[in-house]
Amino acid sequence: MNSHVLVIDDEKNYLLILETLLEEEGYSVTALYDPQMALDYLDESEVDVVITDMKMPGVSGQDILEHIQKHHSQIPVLIMTAYGSIDGAVEAMRCGAFDYITKPFSNDELMLSVRKAALLSKSEQEKRLLTQTLAEQYGPHKLVGSSRGIREVLQLVSKVARSRSTVLVTGESGTGKELIAKAIHYSSPRREGPFISINCMSLSPGVLESELFGHEKGSFTGATAMKKGRFELADGGTLFLDEVGELSQELQVKLLRVLQEKAFERVGGSRTIHVDIRLVTATNKDLKQAVEQGHFREDLYYRLNVVGIHLPPLRERREDIPLLVAHFMHKISAENEQENRKFAPEALEYLTAYEWPGNVRQLENVVERCMILASKDEIGVEDLPSEIKDEEAQFKSAVDLLPVELELSGTLEKIEAALIRRALVKSNFVQVKAAELLNISKSLLQYKLKKYNIQPK
């Protein structure tokens, strides 16, 4: 589709010349001699490039530029001016004009400037489209689940996204912490800025420092060129630090300084670089305990944990498992151009009762494996991995979730709570049947539901 150029000039001869030139080059042109009419037109129509005269009665080119900067900042503006008004054109450039054209103009220079402006406009449109696509892909509405735990997470994401506050996302591995960080970014006013992420556990402290802050040429062996770090790349957007609990003490100090001053120096450099970022961090560690043990700075912990979002493990939101299974089946079918399959009710019951030490990530892997290897359209219990369908393996999985250092009475309570949740799932949340499976009375079951804060659905 050809770019749409709006030309504004109270001299009708120039309007006619510009309209003819632009149409010959294949542009769609709207030519208006009334600048007030042009302002109304801008608010009602799709325009890619604006060319406006500087001096016009009533509404000036500067007024047009200011209106566009305020309401349609993605549209590049070319200012036309006579030789005697070049100072005004330069001022317009400072105010955000894309270029200025002196009258009388060279046709070639004019068309070159218009082509550059049209390319910029197209690039901005593609960027906005990409941002919209990513927002649709990673927005809060893409977080699958209807359990109370996930609803509370979604409410927090919705509230915190509008702010500039730092966010600490906690939860076990595989619960979807990066997905939460993306949901915050793509729901925020920074959505058109970059989303940059790095895993703090995947790199050694020396390499991680260079990745975060960048380095100057020659700052260390192998530094053959200047390199921008993740903080610079995230300027105007969001930086996500995963596994932030793995940062060395030295890097903790440097991170604290960036949060306090919004500034840093590259490795081997002396120039202070200022950035405007939104920081979201995540960890599967207990940072409060790490602070008490002296492994993590207390001042940094409170800087990171302005807003805390805890993602519950999958075993604590079992009612979401059928929804997640359906979501992954649809996704995997589309990716592999497969026909939709379904899990037999008994197989889905096994999936819902399993403890899922690897959480949502493990569930997705299991669903994909079953869809690839199952020989029938309906996936049965026989198609499930042995660790899910084998009772002894399931018990071992549940035991593996227990901490290494444990206190017996508290541990037994955790096991009892897990068995109650499992019985509820197997009985389709009918409490009388669940009590029968556990060989206890319904009144005792209700007491224990209240004791362990288990929601019976």
- Confidence (pLDDT) at 168: 97
pLDDT digits (tens, 9 = 90+) for 82-129: 765 666 666 777 778 888 888 888 888 888 989 998 888 887 776 666
pLDDT digits (tens, 9 = 90+) for 225-262: 899 999 999 999 999 999 999 999 999 999 999 999 98
Mean pLDDT computed over every residue of the chain:
86
Average pLDDT, stretch 185-214? Answer: 91
- Confidence (pLDDT) at 167: 96
Running DSSP on this structure, what letter comes out for residue 242? E
Cβ atoms of residues 181 and 304 within 8 Å: no
* Least confident span in 3-17, 396-410, 414-428: 396-410
Q: Does position 69 have pLDDT exceeding 80, yes or no?
A: yes
pLDDT digits (tens, 9 = 90+) for 353-384: 888 889 999 999 999 999 988 888 899 989 99
The position carrying tokens 């197989």 is 347
- Confidence (pLDDT) at 72: 87
Structure tokens at 1: 């589709």
Amino acid at 182: K
Question: What's the pLDDT band for 399 if we cut at 50, 70, 90?
Answer: low
Question: What's the pLDDT band for 405 if we cut at 50, 70, 90?
Answer: low
Rounded-to-integer distance, Cα 177 and Cα 244, Å: 12
Write out 381-405 in H/E/C secondary structure.
Answer: HHHCCHHHHCHHHHHHHHHHCCCCC
Residues in Cβ contact with 129 at an 8 Å cutoff, skipping those fewer than 6 apart: none
Cβ atoms of residues 364 and 321 within 8 Å: no
Question: What's the pLDDT band for 306 if we cut at 50, 70, 90?
Answer: very high
Average pLDDT, stretch 193-216? Answer: 91
Percent of the chain at pLDDT above 90? 36
Q: Is the dihedral of CA 159, 160, 161, 165 positive or negative?
A: positive
Q: Is 25 exposed, middle or buried (0-12, 13-18, 19+ CB in 10 A)?
A: middle
Q: What is the DSSP string of 30-94?
A: EEES-HHHHHHHHHHS--SEEEEES--SSS-HHHHHHHHHHH-TTS-EEEEEEGGGHHHHHHHHH
Q: Does position 335 have pLDDT exceeding 90, yes or no?
A: no
Question: What's the pLDDT band for 411 if we cut at 50, 70, 90?
Answer: confident
Percent of the chain at pLDDT above 70? 90
